[in-house]
Structures are given as structure tokens and as C-alpha cells.
Structure 1
Amino acid sequence: MNAIALDDERPALDVIEAFCSRIDYIDLVKTFTRTGEARLYLETNPVDVIFLDINMPKESGLAFFKSITQQTLVIFTTAYSEYASESYDVEAVDYLLKPYTFDRFSKAMQRAQTRWRTLHQPDGNNGQGSEPAQLFFRADYGLVKVTVSDILFIEGLDNYLKIHLHEGTPIVLRLTLKAILEKLPTTKFIRVHRSFIVAIDKIQSIRGRMILTGEEEIPIGSSYEKDFFSLFMK
């Protein structure tokens, strides 16, 4: 698992670096002392786990975590126990109260690894064992499960998106189309427009540069047209 750490105190980051170096399944790729720098990094770099201090000068760790669009696990690190209940509201993996020992840190990492494996477990019914049957996303300060086979199409709205399902109300997430496309099975979904991703097996017909899926018509963008039609020519 790839991780980053965010804390306004350098010695706290040194402890996390030292502890991570002793655990072979975690790779601490970057550390930050400012939320702005961490936010910019997360816009272009996928991360599995964030070690996050809560009590920071300009922006709390809780506010920072609620503001980012990337779906990632979080382990809060803080010297203040009164934030514990708030950390569980955002489905934190663990809450490390400073100063913590390596044994306590190791237990938090075991919990993170278990959660990570659950979120990335393969579909046992597809015969391939390589594509997920469900995906989990953070929404409304909790986790929502989406069954991949239920997705008709995904509509992008700035930094938000709507997942339109075969049945039920669309799910709204604070996420970009680029980020969700990285999580979807590449053999089952294709981006057809700057604002749309469609499930390939849910396409009912194609007329000109319009796709019919469910009861919706999805436009095919000019920059995506070649790749889309190449797929069906095969």
C-alpha cells in the first residue's frame, strides 16, 4: 500500500517514517507539513492510506480529509483524545494518540491492510479473479457500496459525479471522472465524453454520435469517438 503523512510537526513525521520502514507492506512515498501541498499531491497521485494529524494551525485534519476528492483510507494521529468520536464519523481506520508505540502503530497498519483487502477483493464469480464485483466510495461521511454490474453510466459535474444505476436513485460522490475511471474494470467501462463514462454491456444502441443506455441518450465526444468506435469494430 502507498501512503502519505501530513503533520505540522516534523518530529511526528520522522516517527511515522521510521515505523513505516519496519513494515514491508506499506510504502510511505511522501510527507507534508502543509495541507495545501498535500491536497495538490493527491490531485494527481493515487494513495491508499493517509496518516493525518488532526490539530493543525490553518486547517484541521478532519476538515482536510472531508475536502479531498480521492477515496483513500485514513489513520488519524493526534495528541488530543477529544477528536476520537469525530474520526469515526468519517470511517477512519484507526486513531493513534500521541505518543504511540510501534506495536500500537503496527496494529493500526494491520487494520488498514484488512480494510484495503476488503475494498479491493476480486469478484469470485467472474472466473478471472481480477475485477471487483463491488466498489466502496466515501459519501456523506461514510462508505457506500456500489455493485459494478448495476452501473448504467456515470455523469461528471465539475468535482462531483453521479453514478446512474439500473435501479434506484443515482449516487452522488465528490470525485472526478478520471479518479473513478481508474477504479472501474477497463473491460467493462469506457469514457465517451468529457462528462460521461458508460458501461459497455448496457449500451442498447448507437445512432450517429448518440448512445442509448437505459432511457438516456449519451453524446459521444469528438475526442473520444475514434477509441469508442474502434472498440466496437473489434
Structure 2
Amino acid sequence: MKTTRITCMIVDDEPMALSLIESYVLKTPFLELRQKCDSAIEALTLIEQEPLDLLFLDIQMPDLNGLEFSKLVPKTSRIIFTTAFSEYAIEGFKVEALDYLLKPFDYAEFLAAAMKAKEWFRLVHGPHKEESDEKAQNFLFVKSGYKQLKINLDEVLYFEGLKDYIKIWLRDNSKAVLTLMSLKHLEKQLPSHKFMRVHRSFIVALDVIDEIERSQIIINNKRITVSEQYKPHFLDYLKKNSLD
């Protein structure tokens, strides 16, 4: 499954707004938070070091406001303005902002703006960006308890579905990470060249398979049955990666 990952930065001098937008970004699968800062001056230095796809940018900030800063941003970076003042809307669109979020805004409003950005990048970059993003994507953030945990996909052995929860089994952990999510939703976020669903309750990391015995995959002494529903896809993978 190809997944577009849009790298982004949040710039806002209000700590509560910065924290809220960060929480929105982290729960949006196609957004990848790279930087957050509380001043446009700091943001200017950071984006010169690492160009990013998308900026969530407050307008009213000291020293250098968002509108002034937006004129200094590389043309490859797009902007969604976030502000409490509606009178800036026209000026915001004059600098070709993708969207304009009026504070306070909820996650549904944020997601609508983020989807607009996703569609813009899809139209501009086409499938090539999606393919490169798929290869580059090597981690996921998952909610476990009250934390957002970063899961390195290279460390994953397999995902085990338990009704509304998923157990994430990692190489060096005897105890699984438990997160509230469905396997169906997770499957859409994973790079298909690295992971495959082989059972209603299991998605496996293909490069850690130790053995295959009849209809069972063995990973770290765990036997996982390949169900009939997923067997044709798995056999096709085996055929392409076997020496006759």
C-alpha cells in the first residue's frame, strides 16, 4: 500500500496552540512532524537546514510575523496558516497559502486542511513521490497508554490483532507494545514491500521470517498460520523470492 508522507513543521508562539496542533499532526497518518518551534526566526534557520513539505504557521508572532516569514520560505514548501484573526485571510491567500485555519479549530477542520495539502502534493508529484515516501517511511507513532511511542519498523517481528487492540512484537522486547487500533487500519499505513497480512489476526515482517513449514510461518519460534484467504498473495511472494 503506497502511503504519501508529508513532512511538516509547526510554528506558533502560543504553547497551548503548539501542543494542540502537534497532537493533531501525530494522529494524522500521512503527516510526519519534523520540527516545531515558537518563533519565525527559529523556523527560518531550521527550514534552511532541512526543507520541508508543509508548514502550519501562526500569523501574529513577535519580531517576524507569519505573513512576512511566508515570503522567505522556499517555493517547494506549502503553508497552512493558523490564526485567531480572520482579517488576515485575504492576505494569507495572496501568498498562495493552501488553507487558513481560524482558531480555535477542531481536529475535523485540521484534517480537512491537511487532506487539501495531501491532494495538492499528489497532483504535483504524482506516484513518484508516493514511491519514494514508501521507501523512506521507516517508523510509526502509536498511542500506548498516555504516550505516543515511536516504533521503528525494522525492529518489528509481527503485529497481532486482538479485537480492537494490536500487540506489536519487537526484536529485543519480550513484552509486546499494546495499542488501540485495528489491523485493517494499520495495514494501510505499512509499506507493502516490508509487511504482509497472512491471517485475520497477523501481519508479519517479511525479512524476519526464519522458516516456512507447510502453511505456517516461523518467526522467533512463534508459529503463525497463513490462512486460506491470504495464502495466494503469500505464495506469490514466495514464488518471486525463491530459487527454483
Gaps of 5+ in 2: 1-5, 133-244
Correspondence for 2:67 among 46, 62, 71: 62
In the alignment, structure 1 residue 18 sits paired with structure 2 residue 23: yes
User: Aligned partners of 2:50, 2:9: CA distance in 1, in Å?
Assistant: 10
Instruction: Give secondary structure in 2 for the equivalent of 1:108.
Output: helix
Name the amino acid aligned to 1:118: L
Which structure exhibits the higher relative contact order, with contacts defined as CA atoms closer than 8 Å and separated by 6 or more residues?
2
- Residue in 2 that maps onto 1:134: none
Name the amino acid aligned to 1:87: G
Name the amino acid aligned to 2:40: T
Query: Which one has a bigger Cα radius of gyration?
Result: 2
Q: Is the 8 A contact 2:39 2:62 kept in 1?
A: no
Query: What's the offset of the Cα at 1:21?
Result: 1.3
Q: Is the 8 A contact 2:41 2:64 kept in 1?
A: no
Name the amino acid aligned to 2:78: L
Q: Is the 8 A contact 1:54 1:62 kept in 2?
A: yes
TM-score in terms of structure 1 length: 0.51
Instruction: Give secondary structure in 2 for the equivalent of 1:121.
Output: helix
1:157-190 superposed Cα distances (whole Å, 9 cap, x missing partner): xxxxxxxxxxxxxxxxxxxxxxxxxxxxxxxxxx
Name the amino acid aligned to 2:115: Q
Correspondence for 1:95 among 100, 119, 138: 100
Name the amino acid aligned to 1:66: K
* TM alignment of 1:1-234, pairs within 5 A: 1-121=6-126
Query: What's the offset of the Cα at 1:67?
Result: 1.7
User: Aligned partners of 2:46, 2:111: CA distance in 1, in Å?
Assistant: 26
Q: Is the 8 A contact 1:46 1:70 kept in 2?
A: no
Query: What's the offset of the Cα at 1:46?
Result: 2.0
Instruction: Give secondary structure in 2 for the equivalent of 1:18.
Output: helix
Q: Is the 8 A contact 1:20 1:28 kept in 2?
A: yes
Q: Is the 8 A contact 2:12 2:57 kept in 1?
A: yes
Gaps of 5+ in 1: 124-128, 131-234
Q: What percentage of aligned pairs have identical amino acids?
A: 39
- Residue in 2 that maps onto 1:197: none
Q: Is the 8 A contact 1:4 1:51 kept in 2?
A: yes
Name the amino acid aligned to 1:48: D
Identify, as 1 or 2, the structure richer in helix.
2
Name the amino acid aligned to 2:51: P
User: Aligned partners of 1:65, 1:86: CA distance in 2, in Å?
Assistant: 11
Instruction: Give secondary structure in 2 for the equivalent of 1:16.
Output: helix
Instruction: Give secondary structure in 2 for the equivalent of 1:67.
Output: coil
TM-score in terms of structure 2 length: 0.49
- Residue in 1 that maps onto 2:188: none
Instruction: Give secondary structure in 1 for the equivalent of 2:109.
Output: helix
Instruction: Give secondary structure in 1 for the equivalent of 2:47.
Output: helix
